[in-house]
Amino acid sequence: MPQELKDFLRLCRSNDKEQQLLNILLLARTVDADHLLWAINQANQTGSPTYQTVCFYLKISVSIVEDKPQSDITVEHTDLTEYDQLLGDDDNDDN
């Protein structure tokens, strides 16, 4: 058994920690092993891991990956020279 799972059993304070471990193992059906072990390790670092904390770390790790900026986004710059002239900024060195 991986060390992360042994640590989970040692640190978990719930009466149903074996059931929680079983639920965590069932997550391996839909989550790759490295990702799951990472989430278990993060939950263990709280000092009192639970199935819910493992799920929390799985969820935030997925949202971090989904929130990464897309590389195909382009930014169109607008010429603000006319606004600079209205404001009296004739020494616009940004162009």
Query: What is the C-alpha separation between 27 and 14, in angstroms, rounded?
Result: 19
Per-residue pLDDT of the chain (95 residues; tens, 9 = 90+): 999 999 999 999 999 999 999 999 999 999 999 999 999 999 999 999 999 999 999 998 876 555 555 566 677 888 888 878 888 865 555 55
Domain membership flag for residue 59: yes
Asked if 11 and 49 touch (Cβ cutoff 8 Å), the reply is yes
Looking at residue 75, its pLDDT comes to 73
What string of H, E and C letters represents the secondary structure of 46-81? Answer: CCCCCHHHHHHHHHHHHHHHHCCCCCCCCCCCCCCH
Kindly state whether residue 85 falls inside one of the protein's structural domains.
Answer: no
The answer as to whether 30 is a domain residue is: yes
Number of structural domains (the chain) is 1
Q: Is residue 18 part of a domain?
A: yes
Asked whether residue 95 is assigned to any structural domain, the reply reads no
Does residue 78 sit within a domain?
Answer: no
Instruction: State the pLDDT at residue 82.
Output: 84
Residue 55 has what pLDDT? 95
How remote is the C-alpha of 16 from its chain's centroid? 27
pLDDT of residue 71: 63
- Residue range(s) defining the domain that contains residue 19: 3-65
- Say what the pLDDT of residue 2 is: 93
Q: Are 7 and 44 in contact (CB under 8 A)?
A: yes
On whether residue 39 sits in a domain, the answer given is yes
